[in-house]
Amino acid sequence: MLQKYLPAEAGQAKSQYNVLEIGSGTGQHAVYMPEHLTGLVWQPSDYDESYATSVAAWTHGMPNVKPWIRLDASASPEQWPVEASWFDCVYNCNTVHIAPIAVLDGLVPGAARCLKKGGKLVTYGPYKLNGRHTAESNADFDASLRARNPEWGIRDFEEVNQRALSSGFVLEGREDMPSNNFLCVWRKQ
């Protein structure tokens, strides 16, 4: 589904479509995406340094994956250890609900800073729509997240969208995905 929002060249080697992944975790997307879309140049990152070794092992020998970097998405945009206006895409999967709201506070303006004009901010995960869960299972999941950490929880799509619009993005699309998740894509104007 992501491919629908990427230029055709992203699938062709040498295109150099630069993607910054926020919250890569163990690195499964850092392997899958660049392996299948060879025009991507994938920059994995996470704030948790314990993932560095795992990502390095998984992506070893992949020419279009950059060495893992430590990036705390809750930091102010100027503190992100990446160049301004460099990336074509900032990709973030299953993170904003499993992290304090400070991650969202940093993610949207941080992405706005490091994306080129026309670059995409992509998030994947569950959202509430108009304040309501889209499935009973998401309500249960939300309760379990909040029980683990009161600062975690499924976010409202409208709130995230409003933040994105305020940071200079336009919503390009929102796709229904399996297990009551959404793929959301904003474009930097």
Ligand X SMILES: C[S@@+](CC[C@H](N)C(=O)[O-])C[C@H]1O[C@@H](n2cnc3c(N)ncnc32)[C@H](O)[C@@H]1O
Instruction: Tell me which residues touch ligand X (CB under 6 A).
Output: 22-25, 28, 46-48, 71-74, 93-95, 98-99, 103
Quote the tokens at residue 42: 């994938």
Instruction: Tell me whether residue 9 or residue 47 sits nearer to ligand X (CB atom).
Output: 47
Closest by CA position to 175, among listed 167, 183, 187: 183
The CB-of-70 to ligand X minimum distance in angstroms stands at 9
Q: Return the SS3 of 128.
A: strand
The CB-of-63 to ligand X minimum distance in angstroms stands at 22
The CB-of-27 to ligand X minimum distance in angstroms stands at 8
Instruction: Tell me whether residue 103 or residue 164 sits nearer to ligand X (CB atom).
Output: 103
> CB 147: neighbour CB atoms within 10 A?
9
Instruction: Tell me whether residue 102 or residue 129 sits nearer to ligand X (CB atom).
Output: 102
Quote the tokens at residue 100: 């304090």
> Which element (helix H / strand E) includes 181?
strand 181-188
